[in-house]
């Protein structure tokens, strides 16, 4: 806890030093304008670069999930076919009526 307290105090001291050295710039700083510019830049970055990357990544993962689902479905159909074969085989041993004596 002492380490984090010292780190906090040093960070606070660094921030105060930066503000004192750039007093005019700090006083003229408009936070709303800064945020509008930041949002515009992030929006442009999202639409130009990250959106395509994220959509491509999502498409690959959905494709892999679809293949996995189809493989699972195929295995279930195969298991059902085997079970039907066992049921038909047992049914034939019971004289075809499905009831045991």
pLDDT in tens, 19-41: 899 888 888 888 899 999 999 99
Give the residue, 95 or 88, on which the prediction is more confident: 88
Q: What percent of the chain has pLDDT over 70?
A: 90
In whole angstroms, what is the distance from residue 92 CA to residue 89 CA?
Answer: 5
pLDDT at 75 over 70: yes
pTM (2 decimals)?
0.47
Our measurement of the distance from residue 41's CA atom to the centroid of its chain's CA atoms, rounded to an integer in Å, reads 24
The torsion angles phi and psi of 95, rounded to 5 degrees, stand at 60, 25
pLDDT band for position 98 (cuts 50, 70, 90): low
Q: Which two tokens stand for residue 14?
A: 């660094």
Torsion of CA 71, 77, 82, 83, to 10 degrees: 130
Q: How far is CA 6 from CA 11, 12, 14, in A?
A: 9, 10, 12
pLDDT at 12: 95
């Amino acid at each position: 806890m002492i380490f984090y307290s010292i780190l906090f105090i040093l960070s606070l001291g660094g921030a105060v030093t930066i503000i004192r050295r750039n007093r005019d710039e700090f006083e003229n700083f408009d936070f709303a304008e800064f945020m509008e510019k930041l949002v515009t830049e992030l929006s442009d970055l999202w639409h130009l670069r990250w959106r395509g990357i994220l959509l491509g990544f999502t498409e690959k993962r959905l494709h892999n999930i679809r293949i996995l689902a189809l493989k699972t479905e195929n295995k279930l159909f195969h298991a059902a076919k085997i079970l039907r074969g066992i049921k038909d085989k047992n049914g034939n041993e019971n004289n075809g009526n499905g009831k045991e004596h």
